[in-house]
Structure 1
């Protein structure tokens, strides 16, 4: 289905379904009018719906001649197909199955086009579980780190402790999901997503703490792409030290480290989620180019 809003921007937009293991995801492909120089899948952050990345996707299509696939994880955003209370998704489902399905779908759609991956936060931590990564020539992560609750600066650490506290966990259990408005997150989350997220942020090594138990071994040899790991200097949720810790996930990749500092772009602040807002579009070339 052609998106008229995208058409006036010089790009075409199309909604599509993505079949993931045990789920049907809602995605959106934005592409330039001509032949794209690359096809990029954007794996979003926890709690950030695909519509949040729409401005970035349209910019990448119009200004960088890229076909960009955004999508919502199962039981979230436009992919929520039942009451949130009945959602059964876990964060492991999002990382292992849904991200893998989105990448594989784009690879099938563009078999002869260079394939790129852009992961925001949790979107950049699961690449070793994705079969199609062997075809990817360029990978970029933004704010993707193996974060422990003690990594947060003191000004934020108390908020994190409250977020993972027994009362909030009880609220999620009673409601059957995490009420986003109640805890200041904004978007509601499936309870299983919250439980994974909580467990990993309270454990050293984040999701690696479950490898060999509830998670299978990843295959780091799949990730041989040029990998740009971007940290944000004032990111309280995933500080640069946690981002650099994630280098160990991808030993075979050709890695480059980059830090986005607000003062370098005339901004007062950047933070964890805001790099992809339209008001921070000044950052986008530094992320993608």
Structure 2
């Protein structure tokens, strides 16, 4: 594994890690992380996937994980979800430059499958494997979450963010610590029936509509946060991309549980991970997309 710091066009410093395969690579995989989840979480899977012949890159969005300089307070971080999309875009550009003739796939976990619709270099993407991702619109949340999310968005988030200058999710055991701009923009998205497209309007709708890479979305039927309806809503934002939604039940794989986070936990090396590698290989470049 190699760690390096990438400077984005707007001057942010992003720490990324790359795992090289033992032989000639099948192609690039960029893993886009979930909200509040650092790239450390994906390291076991990234290492395993590299062993299967892929060049794999993980990263932390600005202001989070290794991309937040030691000693920097989250109060000082000026970032929103558009900035995080720019970070994602810069990592895609960096990975593509390393293997310009090879396909580049995005493996997006939750938020990591929502942001690709905002990328300005979608022509460099050969496909998106979406894992446990959906629209964050609150009425499409899983039933247990929906019972408490009204309080979360209308009371806890505004109050805590105003008090601390960022969202102290770790202290509250909710999501994770997030910059003020990220949590408040995400709140706006989650309160809109059309999620990011509805909250941000026509320019963002066009960005999603520009995506032509194939999308395969995996929906876990024991996901404690996302529903199948929410997954279909998210995939629908990629209105011009060839897409499929597959529902996965843990029992079908002889697993007790997968949930929202379980797909990347160590222990899946012989069960779910080989299937995910197979699904990546099945994301053939769409006509007209760059390799």
Q: TM-score, normalised by structure 1?
A: 0.88
Unaligned runs of 5+ in 2: 279-291
Distance 1:134 1:222, change over 3 A: farther
1:24-48 CA-to-partner distances (Å, cap 9, x unmatched) read 1000000112111111111111011
2:170 equivalent to 1:181: yes
SS in 2 for 1:32: coil
Aligned ranges for residues 31-110 of structure 1 at < 5 Å?
31-62=20-51, 64-81=52-69, 82-95=72-85, 97-110=86-99
Distance 2:124 2:82 in 1: 23
Distance 1:143 1:218, change over 3 A: farther
SS in 2 for 1:165: helix
1:160-180 CA-to-partner distances (Å, cap 9, x unmatched) read 223223244211211111112
Cα offset for 1:246?
1.8
Cα offset for 1:123?
1.0
Q: Is this contact kept in 2: 1:47–1:185, CA < 8 A?
A: no
Q: Is this contact kept in 1: 2:211–2:238, CA < 8 A?
A: yes
Distance 1:219 1:226 in 2: 15
Q: Is this contact kept in 1: 2:142–2:226, CA < 8 A?
A: no
Q: CA RMSD in A?
A: 1.9
Among 213, 217, 238, the alignment partner of 1:250 is 238
Distance 1:167 1:256, change over 3 A: closer
Aligned ranges for residues 140-151 of structure 1 at < 5 Å?
140-151=129-140
Q: Is this contact kept in 2: 1:232–1:259, CA < 8 A?
A: yes
Cα offset for 1:49?
0.1
Aligned ranges for residues 194-209 of structure 1 at < 5 Å?
194-209=183-198
SS in 2 for 1:27: strand
Distance 1:116 1:236 in 2: 26
Unaligned runs of 5+ in 1: 1-12
Aligned length: 274
Among 252, 263, 277, the alignment partner of 1:275 is 263
Partner of 1:14: 2
SS in 2 for 1:253: coil
Q: Is this contact kept in 1: 2:134–2:231, CA < 8 A?
A: yes
Partner of 1:190: 179
Partner of 1:264: 252
SS in 2 for 1:164: helix
Q: Is this contact kept in 2: 1:231–1:243, CA < 8 A?
A: yes
Cα offset for 1:220?
4.2
Cα offset for 1:228?
0.9
2:205 equivalent to 1:223: no
SS in 1 for 2:219: strand
- Higher RCO, 1 or 2 (CA under 8 Å, sep at least 6)? 2
SS in 2 for 1:279: coil
Q: Is this contact kept in 1: 2:209–2:237, CA < 8 A?
A: no
Single out whichever of 75-84 and 15-24 deviates more from structure 2.
15-24
Cα offset for 1:197?
1.6
